[in-house]
Amino acid sequence: MIRGIVLDKDGTLVDFRSLWDGVGRALASEFLRLAGIPYDGVLEAELSGSIGVLPGGLDPGGAFASGTYAQCGDRFVRTLSRFGFAYDAKAAATILAAVSDRAVCGKNARYVPTCDLRSLFSRLRRLSVKTALVTADTQLSAEYAADRLAFRGLIDFLAGATDSEPPKPDGAAIDRFCAEFGLSRENVAVVGDTPTDMRFARNAGAIAVGVLSGVSTRKTLAPLADYVIDHAGRLPALVLSLKERR
């Protein structure tokens, strides 16, 4: 029985490509400019590729799609070293977070929900299910998205990536959510669109639910998930079906 649900943000609640495609394509060149490193097209392509931003699309397991800015920064620094540039990983992560936050927290950012989010969270609340938004993105962007899409008052727990807590797929945020609301991990579903989200669930002993609204296919998610659904709007039906099986 599901008593709590932990949801990813991008690709799960928000259409990933509408919000992030432009950011991903411009991230490496903007980083080089702000870091004071001379522009080089080959270097830009290598930096983008190091975080899974590829000419043919996004790697769902890449750092940009499913990692933190610290992980992206680490990959940038390793790539820069191959081109003869020394750069601090923490400084790189700070630049990447600032560039991304500026892009996705601005009035021109395109937020397209994957379903009717207010209806989703209202229905889950009526089913007595506690809900959490846990993202590898920053706390600022997580709060902005919840406010922009008008569901912040309908969720019970919100957590962005911080230096004080290990990132996904470590289950620390799930443990904190469970402790706050008296939940058992086996009664919590983790919902996301990447393999990292599914490992996040597994590492916490939670139920893994993949959604097809983001960067991954059914073929990618099915071997890792307990359930795969089209989008988060299907969650109330899943909650009810598992309740009936008791």
User: Mean pLDDT by 10-residue block, N- to C-terminus, for the chain (246 residues)?
Assistant: 97 95 95 97 98 92 92 97 97 96 93 98 98 95 96 96 86 95 97 96 97 96 98 98 80
Residues 169 and 190 in one domain: yes
Helix, strand, coil percentages, rounded to 5, for the chain: 50, 15, 35
Give the pLDDT confidence score for residue 246 in this predicted structure.
61
Residues 132 and 11 in one domain: yes
- Going 229 to 105 to 143 to 70, the CA torsion angle's sign is positive
- How far is 157 from 124, CA to CA, in rounded Å? 14
218, amino acid identity: R
Non-local CB neighbours of 219 within 8 Å, separated by 6+ positions: none
Residues 94 and 140 in one domain: no
Residues 116 and 22 in one domain: no
Residues 26 and 79 in one domain: yes
The distance of Cα 232 from the centroid of its chain, to the nearest Å, equals 14
CATH of the domain at 210: 3.40.50.1000
Give the pLDDT confidence score for residue 164 in this predicted structure.
78
Residues 157 and 193 in one domain: yes
For the chain, the domain total comes to 2
- How far is 158 from 28, CA to CA, in rounded Å? 29
Non-local CB neighbours of 57 within 8 Å, separated by 6+ positions: none
Phi, psi of 208 (to 5 degrees): -95, 120
Give the pLDDT confidence score for residue 120 in this predicted structure.
98
> How many of the other CB atoms lie within 10 Å of CB of 181?
15
Residues 128 and 70 in one domain: no
Residues 88 and 203 in one domain: no
Last residue of a domain, one of 104, 127, 162: 104
Residues 171 and 227 in one domain: yes
Query: What residue numbers bound the domain in which 77 lies?
Result: 17-104
